[in-house]
Chain A
Amino acid sequence: MPVVMIIYYIISAFIAGLLIWNFIREKEDRQKMLLYLIVITPIILRLFRIR
């Protein structure tokens, strides 16, 4: 796998981590929690190379 692609996977993992962190910290706003899940979905699927 080329180095640039590996770095992109690391960047994606970092952003996914930040989204999960925010999701866990969000206790009240359910709409916002849903938005976090929507944004995380493609990133996680790409990270695990499912899509």
Chain B
Amino acid sequence: MAIALILLVMIAAYVIAKWRKLSVELCMLSSAVAGGIAGALIVQAPPLAQLARHLVEGTFTYLDVILVFCTATIFITIIAESGGVNYVVRGIIRTFYYKRVVVLLLLMFVILIPGALTGAGSISILTVGTPCALALGYLGIPKKRVAAILFIIAGLSAAAPPVNIWAMIISAGTAIPYVGFELPLGIPVLMLGAFTIFVLGWKRESNLELEEVLKDMPDVPAGMSMWRVLLPFLVFFGLVLVSRLLPFTLPILGLPLEFTIAAAVALLVSPKKLNFLILSRDTVKKLTPLLATMAIVGSLQQIMTVTGVRGLISFAVLSTPLVLLYILLILIIPISEGILTYGGAAIVGIPLVWFLDSMGLHATVVIAGLSLIWPLGDGLPPTALIGRLTIMFTKYEGTYWSFLKTTWLPWIVITIIGMLMIIFSSELSFLVRWSM
């Protein structure tokens, strides 16, 4: 009863902060502080004198993820600013304009790569959103469908390997190593991405000549070539591969350092002179809400643990009948993302994986299945992180809900695939073995 009261105080603090028009990150911080104070007063945990220590200590939980976010986004921004993204999109349109299957698949890959490397679908929209939206528009796809394609594929890109923040958070919180996710995440992401782009982008509603399209597309800096775009990616994937193949010969570099080396290569081969400091400063500025979310989610998690609220939620998950839990997941997972962004993985995901693991399901495949459903919540209020960015970058002028309604079919299919992966995780465990 006392712990339920603390949970109520936390929810009330979130609602009041939202009513006072604070950002989502500060709403979560208010909730953590209020929960800590309530815990200190009601159950004497944490002691009031220790509250600040717990809040600060929590911010360290995802420090490694913060470093990955920063270095990966600086890397992909260098590629975009040097004209690499425009070069690739222009090349795809020029070569495959009349081969619809190929052009759609290639554009899907272009949208998937930034999010897959950074773990944030919003980065896909920020870096390749505008040129890809233009290219999809030139292929005769109406704006509403272009927005829906970008939103769903950017969401899937966040779930795609090598960096999946939901999986990283749950792995860190459940002591499951973040390995073996490549195939359980990669295969469904590619299948669902292809399904989405074909379902929403197959029908052509207008027809432009190739010359007209190329004239309208953004210019590419002189001297840009395919090897200048490919070399930084080859260096990055090469480092990832070599560290896997020679684990006892090479020192462990880690993703942030691998991204930093790739960023240095991208900067060296850029045909355009880039101001690295200004570019990095502006990138970190854009990233700050995401970075703060990671830091605050750590604090929130620490407070929920010390006050017993996390245990209460775990107990609620444990005591829910399995069939009812599966049905509720369809709603709980996207809604938790819409309210808490990545915090949903820490608060709902960790006890859920503990529970499903104890039921004999394969934890890695379960996490992969959940990670497919979480990005859908990035279109739901109050945060609607990717959804709002998509509307902004595609310049869609209709209502937000009309755009969201267009995503209904991929939304349902993604949910079904995610749920099937959870339910049949033991049967799919060979994907994890093949990834290692």
Contact = CB atoms under 8 A, between A and B. Distances in A.
* Chain A partners chain B: yes
Interface of A: 2-4, 7-8, 11-12, 14-15, 18-19, 21-22, 31-32, 34-36, 38-39, 41-43, 45-46, 51
B260 A15 contact: no
A43 B64 CA distance: 10
Contacts of B23: 31, 35
A39 B292 contact: yes
A38 B67 contact: no
Contacts of B355: none
A44 B65 CA distance: 16
Contact of B67 (A15, A22, A34): A15
B71 interface: yes
Give 7 nearest A-B pairs by CB, closest first.
A35-B292, A42-B59, A18-B284, A39-B291, A42-B60, A22-B285, A15-B70
| Chain B facing A: main interface SS | helix
B56 A41 contact: yes
Contacts of A12: 67
16 contacts: A2-B251, A4-B252, A4-B253, A4-B257, A7-B257, A8-B67, A11-B71, A15-B70, A15-B284, A18-B280, A34-B26, A35-B26, A39-B292, A39-B295, A42-B59, A42-B63
Contact of B60 (A8, A18, A32, A51): A51
A39 B297 CA distance: 12
A2 B63 CA distance: 20
Interface of B: 22-23, 25-26, 29, 56-57, 59-60, 63, 66-67, 70-71, 251-254, 256-257, 260, 280-281, 284-285, 288-289, 291-292, 295-296
Given A8-B257, A32-B288, A38 B29 contact: yes
Given A22-B288, A35-B25, A38-B296, A11 B60 contact: no
Nearest to A15: B70
B256 A41 contact: no
Contact of A19 (B22, B59, B251, B284): B284
A32 B224 CA distance: 37
Contact of B256 (A8, A22, A32, A39): A8
A12 B69 CA distance: 12
Most buried by A among B23, B59, B71, B257: B59
Contacts of A38: 25, 29, 59, 292, 295-296
Contacts of B280: 14, 18
A36 B285 CA distance: 9
B60 A46 contact: yes
Nearest to A18: B284
A22 B281 contact: yes
A45 B66 CA distance: 14
A5 B241 CA distance: 21
Contact of A11 (B67, B252, B284, B295): B67
B281 A18 contact: yes
A7 B280 CA distance: 17
A35 B369 CA distance: 32
Most buried by A among B25, B66, B288, B296: B288
B120 to A, nearest CB: 15
Contacts of B66: 15, 39, 42-43
A31 B26 contact: yes
Contacts of B252: 4
Given A35-B289, A38-B59, 6 more contacts: A31-B23, A38-B25, A39-B66, A41-B295, A43-B66, A45-B56
B260 A42 contact: no
A19 B371 CA distance: 30
Contacts of B63: 42-43, 46
Given A11-B67, A15-B70, A18-B280, A42 B288 contact: no
